[in-house]
């Protein structure tokens, strides 16, 4: 486990280390350098510090916004091509993507976010060799999880019938789900590759590969659906190909010499330490999937209200608008996670705190702008999706709730990103369970059915009872953080999850 670190506080948050984080001489020099860099940064004026931190942040956030929008658009394009085949085909590809793939997507994406903690902190600590090892461990864990989740695809038809879908839609959705199994396995490799590259500030590569995947998706969708007339199966295969282009593009960049310090080839060391890695991955998966499923449940609950057709259409459009805008705070989620992890790994607790403040502030300002736009424009944005006067009128009534949701979602994901960067996913998973499913869902049910406020009551109850409470608690926890202690925990985690024979202590790189 390595040496025990003891600290003495001097009353203003500074910490003196009685023993070095890394015992070899090179490690000791690095342990001294990072706090000195931190002091230099603090001595700069506030405007300069904000500018420098913003540049570091947007190196990740800018490309992340583009790549997330590109990937999101791939699904939209697939649905658009399927929509020209018929209503059943559109419903089948939408349900297979939203229910079957969406359920597994959230879990696997969350599990991969463990790499944001480990790779981010390893990069900050200059233990570059371990980043490739962590990614290989993530590939192993997520691949095994993909096999365990296969029954959701194989038995999609009876599962969807059990959830109330018509036989015709369930049968076609089941066929589509089976053809989407290659897409399912691409998650196990693409998600870790993304986080591996993000953690070393190579997010621009992800953006370029995402653009390539989007272009190939358009080409193959046209080829398989219109030219070769493969129907909805062709649309599914097009999505498979596009996602594997992302995998091979990122993998090719990684192994072809572009990451010489962090990728040193396949290693048997990846097999060791899998249990500790699995525990952190599981906590990350539960944390994110509980958030991912929450608003999906909102639509399902609304569908069981009386005369809910117009309400469900309006709510679905509101969630689509929210989904597009959510790509921005999710990019800040990635940026905040990487910046906090890098600084904690480097032993710079105060710099991690400053990175958190800048990330939350900038995302909140952007969210506030979109919130005001939605409230001012009302249902005008919804003309993109529908021209039905009844649906547009319902959306106009929901504009306030949509604006508040966008504002809260500009803060909450960033705080969750800080949690991922700090490695306290398990605590946030419990918080999400309590706020979303013990408070939010019952309150939504109460407001929607008992007090008969309909869809506004369901959404409002879940928003105020779940999202808002969770955001406030996360903000309080983050504000009261002992950042220097978190930096100590990061160094402890690095030693615990590092293989004892990898030689990382003597191989830290300048």
Q: What is the average pLDDT across 175-195? A: 93
Q: Report if residue 305 sits inside a domain.
A: yes
Is it the case that residue 13 has pLDDT exceeding 60?
no
Is it the case that residue 34 has pLDDT exceeding 50?
no
Greater pLDDT, 176 or 314: 176
The confidence score (pLDDT) of residue 420 equals 86
User: Three-state SS string across 262-329, please?
Assistant: CCCCCCHHHHCCHHHHHHHHHHHHHHHHHHHHHHHHHHHHHCCCCCCHHHHHHHHHHHHHHHHHHHHH
DSSP output for 100-163 = IIHHHHHHHHHHHTHHHHHHHHHHHTT-HHHHHHHHHHHHHHHHHHHHHHTHHHHTHHHHHHHT
Backbone angles phi, psi at 24, to 5 degrees: -70, 165
The confidence score (pLDDT) of residue 187 equals 93
The confidence score (pLDDT) of residue 249 equals 96
The confidence score (pLDDT) of residue 453 equals 85
Greater pLDDT, 319 or 353: 353
The confidence score (pLDDT) of residue 300 equals 67
The confidence score (pLDDT) of residue 44 equals 65
Q: What is the average pLDDT across 483-503? A: 70
Q: Report if residue 29 sits inside a domain.
A: no
Is it the case that residue 49 has pLDDT exceeding 60?
yes
Q: Report if residue 24 sits inside a domain.
A: no
Q: What is the average pLDDT across 350-376? A: 93
For 76, the domain range is: 48-498
Least confident residue range of 176-185, 216-225, 299-308? 299-308
Q: What is the average pLDDT across 420-445? A: 87
Least confident residue range of 43-47, 144-148, 457-461, 471-475? 43-47
Q: Report if residue 466 sits inside a domain.
A: yes
237 contacts 82 by C-beta, under 8 angstroms: no
Q: Report if residue 422 sits inside a domain.
A: yes
Is it the case that residue 4 has pLDDT exceeding 80?
no
Mean confidence (pLDDT) of the chain: 81
Is it the case that residue 28 has pLDDT exceeding 60?
no
Q: Report if residue 71 sits inside a domain.
A: yes
Residue 16: strand pairing partners: 8
Q: What is the average pLDDT across 381-409? A: 84
Residue at token pair 């649309």: 235
Q: What's the structural domain count of the chain?
A: 1
Q: Report if residue 11 sits inside a domain.
A: no
Q: Report if residue 220 sits inside a domain.
A: yes
């Amino acid at each position: 486990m390595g040496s025990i670190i003891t600290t003495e506080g001097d009353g203003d948050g500074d910490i003196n280390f009685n023993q070095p984080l890394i015992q070899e001489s090179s490690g000791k020099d690095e342990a001294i350098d990072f706090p000195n860099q931190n002091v230099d940064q603090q001595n700069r004026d506030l405007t300069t510090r904000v500018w420098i931190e913003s540049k570091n942040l947007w190196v990740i956030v800018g490309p992340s916004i583009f790549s997330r929008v590109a990937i999101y658009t791939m699904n939209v394009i697939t649905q658009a091509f399927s929509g020209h085949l018929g209503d059943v085909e559109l419903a089948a590809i939408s349900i297979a993507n939203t229910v079957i793939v969406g359920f597994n997507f959230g879990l696997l994406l969350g599990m991969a976010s463990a790499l944001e903690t480990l790779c981010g902190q390893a990069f900050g600590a200059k233990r570059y060799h371990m980043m490739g090892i962590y990614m290989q461990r993530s590939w192993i864990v997520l691949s095994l999880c993909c096999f365990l989740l296969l029954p959701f695809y194989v038995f999609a038809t009876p599962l969807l019938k059990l959830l109330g879908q018509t036989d015709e839609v369930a049968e076609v959705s089941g066929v589509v789900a089976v053809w989407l199994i290659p897409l399912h396995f691409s998650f196990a490799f693409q998600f870790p590759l993304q986080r591996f590259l993000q953690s070393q500030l190579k997010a621009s590569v992800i953006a370029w590969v995402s653009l390539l995947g989007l272009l190939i998706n358009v080409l193959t969708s046209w080829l398989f659906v219109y030219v070769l007339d493969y129907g909805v199966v062709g649309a599914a295969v097009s999505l498979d190909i596009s996602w594997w282009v992302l995998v091979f593009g990122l993998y090719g960049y990684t192994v072809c010499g572009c990451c010489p310090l962090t990728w040193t080839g396949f290693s048997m060391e990846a097999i060791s330490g899998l249990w500790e890695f699995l525990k952190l991955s599981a906590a990350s998966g539960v944390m994110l999937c509980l958030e991912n499923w929450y608003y999906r449940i909102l639509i399902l609950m609304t569908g069981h209200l009386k005369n809910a057709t117009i309400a469900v259409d309006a709510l679905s459009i509101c969630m689509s608008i929210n989904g597009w805008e959510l790509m921005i705070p999710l990019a800040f989620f990635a940026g905040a996670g990487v910046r906090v992890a890098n600084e904690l790994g480097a032993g710079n607790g105060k710099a991690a705190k400053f990175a958190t403040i800048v990330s939350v502030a900038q995302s909140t300002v952007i969210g506030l702008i979109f919130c005001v736009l939605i409230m001012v424009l009302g249902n005008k944005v919804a003309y993109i999706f529908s021209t039905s006067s009844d649906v547009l009128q319902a959306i106009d009534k929901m504009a306030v709730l949509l604006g508040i949701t966008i504002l809260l979602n500009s803060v909450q994901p960033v705080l969750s990103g800080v949690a991922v960067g700090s490695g306290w996913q398990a605590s946030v998973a419990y918080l999400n369970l309590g706020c979303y499913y013990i408070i939010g869902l019952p309150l939504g049910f109460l407001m929607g059915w008992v007090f008969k406020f309909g869809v506004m009551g369901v959404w409002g109850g879940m928003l105020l009872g779940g999202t808002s409470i969770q955001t406030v608690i996360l903000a309080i926890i983050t504000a009261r953080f002992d950042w220097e202690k978190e930096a100590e925990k990061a160094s402890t985690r690095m030693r615990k999850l590092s293989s004892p024979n990898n030689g990382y202590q003597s191989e830290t790189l300048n």
